[in-house]
Chains A and B, each alone.
Chain A
Amino acid sequence: DARVTQTPRHKVTEMGQEVTMRCQPILGHNTVFWYRQTMMQGLELLAYFRNRAPLDDSGMPKDRFSAEMPDATLATLKIQPSEPRDSAVYFCASGLATSGRCYFGPGTRLTVL
């Protein structure tokens, strides 16, 4: 079974530190999403890519967040500097634009102290 993988699964860091989360989409998928989940805000779309090109990152705080796809097998989400309000579960998902269906990774649980 092909799966989306995310690393790390858990991350605890201190305020001000840089955090990098990685995602390996399912091979052949041309769309990659980054979502953030919190109790208060629910699931928020941070950014998404199609064929490695960023299509929409309007949900992402630009001053501290950045998302990239260095190649088709890797998507990264970086927070610099991190703040306690960034504590959340970050999900990566991939899919094919033609079907719309997304396959979610297990998430990275980030805690910023």
Chain B
Amino acid sequence: AQSVAQPEDQVNVAEGNPLTVKCTYSVSGNPYLFWYVQYPNRGLQFLLKYITGDNLVKGSYGFEAEFNKSQTSFHLKKPSALVSDSALYFCAPLWGKLIFGQGTELSVKP
């Protein structure tokens, strides 16, 4: 069965430090892979996507994600976190439809 996992419910980092939000998926074939962010009381916003090509994808707000086919992972990263990055982050493979992970709450403290 197709599935996606975000193993951490919450990630805490200090402002200025690098951050990683993990995502793994289980699928046959080569899905498109997405990251979305949700700020409080808002809808989801697109951050970035991977279709093919370079395994490191750059997106909005300084975020990037690394695709690893052998590990079926698509971890979200940022070299230097900001307090304003605090939000809920969703990984979503696309198999005809977007299937969202449970989400990871990122908290960046000053």
Contacts and interface: CB of A to CB of B under 8 A. Distances in A.
Contacts of B98: 33, 45, 93, 100, 102
A27 interface: no
Given A42-B101, A45-B99, 16 more contacts: A33-B97, A35-B100, A42-B100, A42-B102, A42-B103, A43-B103, A48-B97, A56-B96, A93-B43, A100-B32, A100-B51, A101-B46, A103-B46, A104-B36, A106-B42, A107-B42
A105 interface: yes
Nearest to A99: B49
A26 to B, nearest CB: 13
Interface residues of A toward B: which range?
A: 10 to 19
Interface in B1-49: 32, 34, 36, 42-46, 49
A42 B100 CA distance: 8
A45 B2 CA distance: 14
Interface string B51-91: 10000000000000000000000000000000000000010
Nearest to B45: A104
A52 to B, nearest CB: 16
A113 interface: no
Contacts of B36: 102, 104
Nearest to B101: A42
A55 interface: yes
Nearest to A106: B43
Interface string A47-78: 01000000110000000000000000000000
Given A42-B103, A100-B49, A107 B43 contact: yes
A82 B42 CA distance: 24
Contacts of A106: 42-43
Nearest to A42: B102
Contact of A45 (B45, B49, B97): B97
